[in-house]
């Protein structure tokens, strides 16, 4: 009997097909990997932003960034995007380029978190922590980033400072993308490293932080390997289709 023909990396492609990188309880988190998936993410962002009275004309997800999707069953309930610095810069450069550029020095690499949206019906500390944890894994472990930036409404700064250790840089400005006030927050990833080392996986309810809900370091490395696995499979599929 002739052995079935298997294309190179066929097993790799099949393993990575669902794009899932983390499962916890009732939800799973995947990588958005196609225009169809990105359009669903944009629809969720638009719905959550509109609910808060923000402008939603510019909620499209650029293909150059990593976008995480959180699902409850097959229902999309949350998303967060990580944008790497490049010649195109970061979205926050529009208002805060001078502040951010002070960190664009040798041996440092900046990233931006954006388009966070979670359906309130499914919101939880664990889900929010998982999205930030995966963004940290992508930024820190995979891309060797040193600093995260995020623009948030001034009403939310206390939460980001208390739960993740962000610090505010600069004054409040009006963000034209959402037509709402915004402040720039900065998070040094050396600080996150330390929090992961001492708190991750503890689920300590008395700790007023999201870090007890992060994965321990050895599990983060497994997830990073899984993400790289998926990205290689996706790149192989793209090359096979268009190469």
* pLDDT exceeds cutoff 70 at 103: yes
Lowest mean pLDDT among 170-174, 208-212, 215-219, 233-237: 233-237
pLDDT band at residue 11 using 50, 70 and 90 as cut-offs: very low
The whole-number pLDDT of residue 13 equals: 38
* Dist. CA 19–CA 41, nearest whole Å: 15
Closest CA to 76 of 66, 67, 87, 85: 67
* pLDDT exceeds cutoff 90 at 184: yes
Q: Give whole-number Cα distances, 171 to 116, 157, 181, 188, 199, in Å.
A: 21, 12, 10, 19, 32
Q: What is the pLDDT of residues 113-164, one digit of tens each?
A: 998 989 889 989 999 999 999 999 999 999 999 999 999 999 999 999 999 9
CATH number of the domain located at residue range(s) 82-242 in this protein: 3.40.630
The whole-number pLDDT of residue 207 equals: 78
Mean pLDDT across 60-74: 78
CA angle 48, 54, 57 (to 5 degrees): 90
Strands 180-188 and 147-152: antiparallel
Closest CA to 94 of 216, 217, 200, 177: 177
Mean confidence (pLDDT) of the chain: 82
* pLDDT exceeds cutoff 90 at 108: yes
């Amino acid at each position: 009997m002739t052995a079935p023909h298997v294309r190179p990396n066929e097993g790799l492609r099949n393993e990575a097909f669902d794009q899932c990188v983390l499962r916890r309880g009732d939800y799973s988190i995947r990588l958005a990997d196609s225009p169809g998936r990105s359009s669903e993410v944009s629809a969720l962002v638009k719905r959550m932003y509109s609910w808060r009275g923000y402008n939603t004309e510019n909620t499209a997800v650029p293909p150059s960034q990593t976008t995480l999707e959180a699902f409850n069953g097959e229902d999309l309930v949350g998303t967060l995007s990580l944008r790497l610095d490049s010649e195109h810069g970061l979205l926050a450069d529009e208002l805060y380029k001078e502040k951010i550029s002070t960190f664009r020095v040798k041996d440092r690499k900046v990233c931006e978190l954006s388009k966070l949206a979670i359906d309130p019906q499914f919101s939880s500390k664990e889900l929010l922590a998982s999205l930030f944890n995966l963004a940290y894994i992508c930024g820190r472990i995979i891309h060797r980033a040193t600093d995260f930036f995020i623009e948030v409404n001034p009403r939310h700064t206390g939460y980001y400072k208390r739960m993740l250790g962000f610090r505010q840089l600069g004054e409040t400005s009006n963000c034209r993308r959402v037509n709402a006030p915004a402040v720039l927050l900065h998070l040094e990833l050396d600080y996150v490293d330390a929090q992961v080392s001492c708190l991750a996986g503890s689920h300590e309810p008395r700790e007023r932080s999201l870090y007890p809900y992060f994965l321990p370091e050895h599990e983060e490395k497994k997830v990073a390997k899984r993400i790289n696995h998926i990205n290689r499979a996706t790149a192989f599929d793209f090359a096979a289709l268009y190469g």
